[in-house]
Amino acid sequence: MHHHVSIAIDGPAASGKSSVGLKLAKEFGFIFLDTGIMYRAVTLAALQKALDIDNELLITHLAKEIDIEIKRPSKSDGRINDIFLNGLDVSWQIKDAQVNDNVSQVSTYAGVRRAMTDQQKKIAEQGNIVMVGRDIGTVVLPKANYKFFLNASVEERARRRLAEELSRGNEMQLEEIMDNLKSRDLLDSSRSVAPLVAAKDAIIIETDQKTLDQVVDEIRGHIHL
């Protein structure tokens, strides 16, 4: 195996990035990092402090001040990682609907992205890693050994997100989730800093009507360790 192999997986919300990336990381014994977690933590912190989400300076200052820790999961309740915000476990709070509604806005701020990108690069320096997000192959790890971009229709992604919410006991409507995903897609792809876009050298994989194992198998076929 090469030293410090990096695998970048990008794509829109609910395209399957986290599930695919986690499964690959477990198979290879790599570190796994879903970078979206970090933006969610910043958003949650802003909401907890009742800060104006539209105030870029305030949110950027907050992003530089808060302490975000990402650890291996300590509970078998479906979480991918333990997420600590200023020492408190917020692993499920970062999935709240209010966070969903505001995280893309927070993610547009250049200062927030710089703060999070610096942390992400440092984590990648620890060794072999699978990192997922929206700007991994283009900004965070532009020299990643392997780059993939997962895509799926908004209808398919909404169905996946609805199933996830229902499994956690949350009552939501498919139309509501679709509207949220469309809004997030627009914000993510149109922001001036690190927009959601496939890296020029990324392998694009359409995940509609494919199982998790099928997507993992497809990616694995491109990786030679």
Structural domain spans, the chain = 6-220
Q: How far apart are CA 98 and CA 83, in angstroms?
A: 17
Tell me the whole-structure pTM to 2 decimals: 0.85
In 119-168, at which residue ranges do the beta strands (DSSP E only) sit?
129-133, 146-151
Report the mean per-residue pLDDT for the chain: 93
Where does the pLDDT of residue 204 fall: very low under 50, low under 70, confident under 90, or very high at 90 and above?
very high
Summarised one tens digit per residue, pLDDT across range 55-68 is 999 999 999 999 99
Q: Is 175 helix (H, G, I), strand (E, B) or coil?
A: helix
Q: Is the pLDDT of residue 203 over 60?
A: yes
Q: Positive or negative, the Cα torsion across 164, 13, 83, 43? A: negative
What proportion of the chain, given as a percentage, has pLDDT over 70?
99
* Position 43, amino acid: T
Query: Interior CA angle at 140 toward 138 and 141, to 5°?
Result: 75
Contact between 21 and 9 under an 8 Å Cβ cutoff? The reply is yes
Summarised one tens digit per residue, pLDDT across range 111-170 is 999 999 999 998 898 889 999 999 999 999 999 999 999 999 999 999 999 998 898 888
At 2 the pLDDT is 52
Torsion-angle region of residue 87: left (phi > 0), alpha (psi -120 to 50) or beta? Answer: left
Summarised one tens digit per residue, pLDDT across range 40-91 is 999 999 999 999 999 999 999 999 999 998 887 888 887 888 999 999 999 9
Query: Interior CA angle at 207 toward 205 and 208, to 5°?
Result: 135
Q: Is the pLDDT of residue 211 over 90?
A: yes
Q: Is the pLDDT of residue 1 over 80?
A: no
Q: What class is the 6-220 domain? A: alpha beta
At 115 the pLDDT is 94
Q: At how many degrees (to 10) do helices 174-190 and 97-107 cross?
A: 10
| pLDDT (average), residues 201-209 | 96
Q: How far apart are CA 124 and CA 129, in angstroms?
A: 6
Contact between 94 and 44 under an 8 Å Cβ cutoff? The reply is yes
At 218 the pLDDT is 97
Contact between 47 and 179 under an 8 Å Cβ cutoff? The reply is no
Among 12-16, 29-33, 51-55, 120-124, the range of highest mean pLDDT: 51-55
* Position 192, amino acid: S
